[in-house]
Amino acid sequence: MTDWFRRVFWFTPLRKGLTVLLVLAVVSGLAYGVHRVANPDLTCAEGVARPEPDAECVGVSADGYAFGVAALKDVAAAIARENRGLTKGEYATVAVMLPITSTDSGMRTKVLHELQGAFLQQYAANHDSNEQVPKIRLVLANTGMGNAHWRTTVGQLKGMVDGPDNLRAVSGVATSSAETKDAVKELTGAGIPVIGTTITADDIANGPDGDPYPGLARVSPTNGDEARAIAQFGKVEAKKAVLVQDTRPGDHYTATLRKAFADLLADAPYEPQLFTSPPDPTDEGTTPNTFRQIALLLCGTRDADTVFFAGRHTQLRQFVNALGQRPCQHREFTVLTGDEGSYLGADDRLDKKALANKVSVRYASLAHPDAWKEPGAPRTGGSPAAYKVFTDLLEKAADPDIGPIGKTSLRDGQAIIAYDAMATAVRGIREATVDKLPEISDVVTQWPQLKGPLKVEGASGWICLDNHGNPYNKAVPIVELARDGSQRFVEIAWPEEKPPAQDCLPPGAS
């Protein structure tokens, strides 16, 4: 063995030299291999990396990376194409922060629609706005499933404020959860303007009691406003109403609904019915048993026909199913709830027969394609014209120069809301612009100005922000869940009972 080794590798000085080179090459190769195994390449794309091996890709992407989600490929590519057409230094960046890699199918659809809406607004801002500056660059910010990796992404966003990215706003904040709240807190704490799309929870909002999120604007009504709008819609029924509420702590959405409904039903004859959802509200848990009892109780009441449901959609589905099995099949029940009702249509486990058995589910939607259609649309608080601009854009997006942007659907209203949120961001950025690019601190102070003549005429209705960045008297389309799972528009409800005046100024603001 030694002799063979010497003969082949170590006999002449020349062989020794070559052997040394060979060994060095092999060793460095091995070292590199070991290094790669020990320090795996976690990058997914530019600006995007896995926080740990085998984790999802998290971060901010501007060049068409779809975070491995096939459905997003088209829209991500369209955004990237739009971004590529911009000149460095002449654009402001808006990030759409979403749990893009979520595996939940509802969330996936929501993400797709939000990105589509945001892109349409970006396109409109860059091409159909009389060459206003700055141009808008859109980036995708993934916080991971359940927003678990929000810290990484938020940290990255904070670093993008200075050139060359010139991040000026973050949009897309789409769920009401503790992580979202922390993320918004962190972003606004760093002086970055945030425009929430579908956050409705009252405690991710500023208010008269204080501005915990300086620079946060919302285009959706708060849960409180929603609840008030629902309550206004169901006002006549208050005497015959029962409140069914989730007691699990820590859920802002349910807590807000609970509070609004409770205020409305302060002197209702029936005491609230309670249930407690599992820690993860998408778990089935044991709540169906509770709901069966509540259904029995409801049958036991004399004339109750309206249920205000303060809970998440899994529990809502269980409750509707339980109600479908109620003993008093002859009695009609209307379930009123918040925007979680919108998920019900896509839920396979919903007992569709319940809807036939005189049970109707009505809820506050954030936006609905039928809300602003002639005739019969209110004259203020929104306009069919503004809505038509949106739908025209949507049609244009089929053009291969702009799109494609993937399969579109307006039924859930997410695209409309995202479009409006983006419009708010663009309006804020451009209003703050003096020279080429606005200071980010100027953008933050713009939100309270967006009212009256500067209001955003959104596709979902007028967005007149109050001094705390919340939309004042935003149109709330009330929809009813049809038996085929679609949402049937019922009517527009207003948190302030009736549409805003033409000037759209919050009271006390003028």
16/436 with CB nearer another protein: 16
Q: Which is nearer to another protein, 13 or 453 (CB)?
A: 13
User: What's the closest the beta carbon of residue 21 comes to another protein, in angstroms?
Assistant: 13
Q: Using CB under 8 A, which of 3, 209, 267, 280 touches another protein?
A: 3
In the complex with another protein, which residue's Cβ is closer, 10 or 32? 10
Span near another protein by CB under 8 A; candidates 9-17, 54-62, 195-203, 366-374:
9-17
Written as six digits, the tokens of 161 are 């404020």
d(CA 459, CA 421): 10
Residue 18 CB, shortest distance to another protein, in Å, is: 10
Residue 396's Cβ-count burial label (10 Å; 0-12, 13-18, 19+) is: middle
CA angle 290, 293, 297 (to 5 degrees): 135
User: Cis omega (within 30 of 0) on the bond before 400?
Assistant: no
Q: What is the CA angle 390-392-395, rounded to 5? A: 115
Q: What HEC string does 360-399 produce? A: EEEEECCCCCCCCCCCCCCCCCCCHHHHHHHHHHHHHCCC
Pick from 14, 38, 70, 434 the residue near another protein by CB under 8 A: 14
CA 414, CA 436: separation in Å to the nearest integer?
A: 31
The number of residues making up the chain comes to 510
Interface with another protein by CB under 8 A: which range of 6-14, 115-123, 308-316, 438-446?
A: 6-14
Please give the single-letter amino acid code of residue 43: T
Beta carbon of residue 27, minimum distance to another protein (angstroms, whole number) = 23
With contacts defined by CB under 8 A, name the span among 7-15, 238-246, 320-328, 406-414 that binds another protein.
7-15
User: 1 vs 37, which CB is nearer to another protein?
Assistant: 1
**Looking at beta carbons only, is 14 or 70 nearer to another protein?**
14
- Residue 138 to residue 58: CA distance in whole angstroms: 17
Stretch that binds another protein, among 1-9, 32-40, 213-221, 257-265 (CB under 8 A): 1-9
Question: CB of residue 8 vs another protein: minimum separation in angstroms?
Answer: 9
Query: Residue 466's closest CA among 168, 191, 219?
Result: 219
Minimum distance of another protein from residue 4's CB (angstroms): 8
- Give the integer Cα–Cα distance in Å for 297 and 291: 10
Contact 474, 224 (CB under 8 A): no
User: At closest approach, how far in Å is the CB of 1 from another protein?
Assistant: 12
Helices (H), 433-502: 440-444
Residue 1 binds to another protein (criterion: CB under 8 A): no
Answer for the pair 352, 324: CB distance below 8 angstroms, yes or no.
Answer: no
Which window, 3-11, 170-178, 233-241, 347-355, contacts another protein (CB under 8 A)?
3-11
The verdict on 22 binding another protein (CB under 8 A) reads no
> Do the strands 359-364 and 333-337 form a parallel or antiparallel pair, or are they unpaired?
parallel
Nearer to another protein, 1 or 70 (CB): 1
Q: How far is the CB of 17 from another protein (least distance, A)?
A: 7
Query: By CB under 8 A, is residue 373 in contact with another protein?
Result: no
Site string for another protein, 376-395 (x = CB under 8 A): --------------------
By CB under 8 A, name the one of 1, 6, 189, 393 that touches another protein.
6
Specify whether the CB–CB gap between 161 and 125 falls below 8 A. Answer: no
Whole-angstrom distance, CA of residue 140 vs CA of residue 58: 10
Options 1, 12, 279, 348; binder of another protein; rule CB under 8 A: 12
Total chain residues near another protein (CB under 8 A): 10
Nearer to another protein, 20 or 30 (CB): 20
| Count of beta carbons in the 10 Å neighbourhood of residue 329 | 11
| 10 in contact with another protein (CB under 8 A) | yes
Among the residue ranges 14-22, 65-73, 367-375, 458-466, the one whose residues contact another protein (CB under 8 A): 14-22
Q: State the pairing for strand pair 91-98/135-142.
A: parallel
What residues contact 486, with CB distance under 8 A and at least 6 apart?
Answer: 345, 411
C-alpha to C-alpha distance for 269 and 113, rounded to whole angstroms: 42
For residue 171, give Cα distances in angstroms to 239, 260, 380.
Answer: 40, 27, 26
Residues pairing with 142 in the sheet: 59, 98
Indicate the residue among 7 and 35 with the shorter CB distance to another protein.
7
| H or E element in which residue 187 lies | helix 178-189
- By CB under 8 A, residue 13 contacts another protein: yes
Q: Which is nearer to another protein, 9 or 270 (CB)?
A: 9
Residues of the shown chain interacting with another protein in the complex, contacts defined by CB under 8 A: 3, 6-7, 10-15, 17
